[in-house]
Amino acid sequence: MAAILLALLALLALLALLALLALLALLHLLGLPDVAAELFAHTVHRLLSRLLLLTLLLTVYLLWLLLALLLSSLLLWLLLSLLVLWLLVVCLLALLWLWL
């Protein structure tokens, strides 16, 4: 599931970059290369920071699940799963805050 989510996110980022490149080409044709360069730098920075945050979140989630499975205690597994779910919700809210 995480791999599918990452693949979809990567595809979305690629489509966003393609749309941005089309916009940059239009701005350059209109004679505004400085505006195009600033827009490109700002947008790429935001996209890369979001992709990095999402990748980090998925890695932490998978590591917690692996640790819970290795410990093999049902109660501990449930507690760790709840903790991971809470961390995921908090991080998704942070990602939403960054997106807006």
Q: What is the pLDDT of residue 73?
A: 67
Q: What is the pLDDT of residue 100?
A: 58
Q: Where are the alpha helices (DSSP H) in 30-72?
A: 33-71
The two structure tokens encoding residue 90:
């908090």
The two structure tokens encoding residue 14:
């690629």
Q: What is the pLDDT of residue 47?
A: 72
**CB-count burial class (<10 Å; 0-12, 13-18, 19+) for 40:** middle
Q: What is the pLDDT of residue 60?
A: 73
Give the residue among 11, 29, 30, 8 at the shortest CA–CA distance from 19.
11
Contact present, 91 and 57 (Cβ < 8 Å): yes
Q: What is the pLDDT of residue 5?
A: 66
Q: What is the pLDDT of residue 76?
A: 67
Q: What is the pLDDT of residue 4?
A: 66
CA distance 83 to 64: 9
The two structure tokens encoding residue 2:
């995480």
Q: pLDDT by residue (tens digit) across 64-95?
A: 777 767 776 666 667 667 777 777 777 777 76
Q: pLDDT by residue (tens digit) across 9-68?
A: 666 766 776 777 777 777 777 777 777 677 777 777 777 777 777 777 777 777 777 776
